[in-house]
Copies of this chain bind each other. A is one copy, B any other.
Amino acid sequence: MNTSFFGELLTSITEQGRALLDAGRGRNGEVPLVDLCEALLTGRGEASGVALAGEVLSIYQQLDGERKLSFFLSLRDQFGADLDKVRETAAALNDAPEDMSLLRRLHSVSEPRRQELIRRLNLAPGGTKALVAMRSDLLDFLREQPDLRDVDRDFEHLFSSWFNRGFLVMRRIDWSTPANILEKIIAYEAVHQIDGWEDLRRRIGLADRRLYAFFHPALVDDLLIFVEVALTREIPGAIGPILTEQRAEITAEEANTAVFYSISNCQKGLRGISFGNFLIKQVVEELRRELPSLKTFVTLSPVPGFARWLSRALKDEDGQIAAQLDEDKISALSEPDWPQDAEAAKKLETVLPHLCAHYLTREKDRNNRPLDPVARFHIGNGARLERVNWLGDLSPNGLAQAHGLMVNYLYDLKYIERNHESYAANGTVAASSAVTRLAKAVPEAKQLTPVS
């Protein structure tokens, strides 16, 4: 009815300034997205920056895959730093190495113009959400076009500033949370799938279950990451009893242990921006304040890389690992239903936990960090590998990735800092004495060549 201000502004751009832009259109009247970006960036049109940014984002969303790729390639090629200026300034600095203003200038001219472009796109209403989605597209292209990584770095740089922990808001999610947020929890849960609303209610609507999430004001109703917590009376060794319908509910006050049994990142477009570390620690703080009876904070975690590593290790020429598993055990392991075979299970129990302890504490990547990504995350946070659990996850996925093993990482406030320091300095993986003993049964193998 009464057109919006920005709508009208846009119309006025269309009528006046578009002539200018139109010159650049192809024969088919193709959308000159890059020209709009250039207009937005050069500030010709500053008065209407909001409108222009909205226009760019809206056009982008309607592009098909091929044109999106072509847009990203333009970002790579046309919106980098001005190379001539960089070289020129570098040369000048070479001549006058003490000139501080040259230094500042060097930093400024070497910033890819994409960064300012992305900042200005964020002016549009809903801009942040659209940019996160844009990066999600970009990540898809990255495999085929690894050199788009330069573009991605600029997104990552800005997102890590915008999604600084200082801007995040933690909220408890429970059964009085709006349904449009709850349905996202169902959709995003990546570790232990939620089978519909009744299953969800069991995870958030009971006295001994909690779910906490980080939100960002600019994404409104969307979540960044969430963690699911079970309040228990002991450190659990298996996921089944946590998730089952048939279990005895306790009151929150009866619990002495908080178990983090699932952490899910929700935004593919924010890959590489770390929230989990902060979320776990803030949840620990929140729970300690609310429930002083809680003494132990621990995870119940998968070992996603164990089976793959083991399979490679068995083929390794060295044979140290292979020596741990005789033919009998290897063949037992190849039976899909081996956990139902008591004898086979008994045999495997004598060796798999040792190998897992070895894998988690000693097998490292090029940067001297644990091979296993989940271990890398929790050990990096200062947690300690507390226990290896036999028959912890008998789901098909659990068997496939870790031969049914699960582990606990312990968040002990007294040691978090010390653990982290040792890890940062020497790559030491903090582990309980029980786990250390388990690992010792396996000879200190020479490291496999890391896969990635």
Contact = CB atoms under 8 A, between A and B. Distances in A.
Nearest to A6: B285
A165 B121 CA distance: 10
Given A12-B414, A178-B179, A43 B424 contact: yes
A50 B2 contact: no
A221 B415 CA distance: 37
Interface stretch (A103-111, A137-145, A239-247): A103-111
A361 B91 CA distance: 43
A111 B196 CA distance: 49
Contact of A47 (B106, B182, B381): B381
A166 to B, nearest CB: 4
Interface string A1-44: 11011101100110011000000000000000000000000011
Contacts of A197: 179, 196-197
Given A5-B285, A278-B50, A218 B166 contact: yes
Contacts of A282: 5
A288 interface: yes
A177 interface: yes
Given A150-B104, A180-B176, A288-B2, A12 B413 contact: yes
Contact of A417 (B48, B158, B176): B48
Interface in A404-433: 413-421, 424-425
A202 to B, nearest CB: 13
A152 to B, nearest CB: 12
A281 interface: yes
Contacts of A48: 382, 416-417, 420
A337 B285 CA distance: 61
Given A177-B178, A413-B8, A123 B166 contact: yes
B119 A110 contact: no
Q: Interface size for chain A: under 10, 10 to 19, 20 to 34, or 35 or more residues?
A: 35 or more
A164 interface: yes
Given A166-B127, A197-B197, A9 B416 contact: yes
Contact of A421 (B44, B176, B417): B44
- Which secondary structure dominates where chain A touches chain B? helix
A46 B90 contact: no
A446 interface: no
Contact of A5 (B176, B177, B281, B421): B281
Interface string A72-113: 000000000101001101110110010010011011001110
Interface of A: 1-2, 4-6, 8-9, 12-13, 16-17, 43-48, 50, 81, 83, 86-87, 89-91, 93-94, 97, 100, 103-104, 106-107, 110-112, 119, 122-125, 127-128, 150, 153, 158, 160-162, 164-167, 169, 175-180, 182, 196-197, 201, 217-218, 221, 277-278, 281-282, 284-285, 288-289, 292, 380-382, 413-421, 424-425
Given A43-B424, A175-B180, 16 more contacts: A4-B285, A5-B285, A5-B288, A9-B413, A16-B418, A45-B417, A45-B420, A46-B277, A47-B416, A48-B382, A50-B278, A89-B90, A91-B94, A100-B150, A124-B166, A161-B161
15 contacts: A5-B285, A5-B413, A45-B421, A47-B381, A90-B106, A122-B167, A123-B165, A123-B278, A127-B166, A161-B162, A162-B167, A167-B167, A176-B179, A177-B178, A217-B217
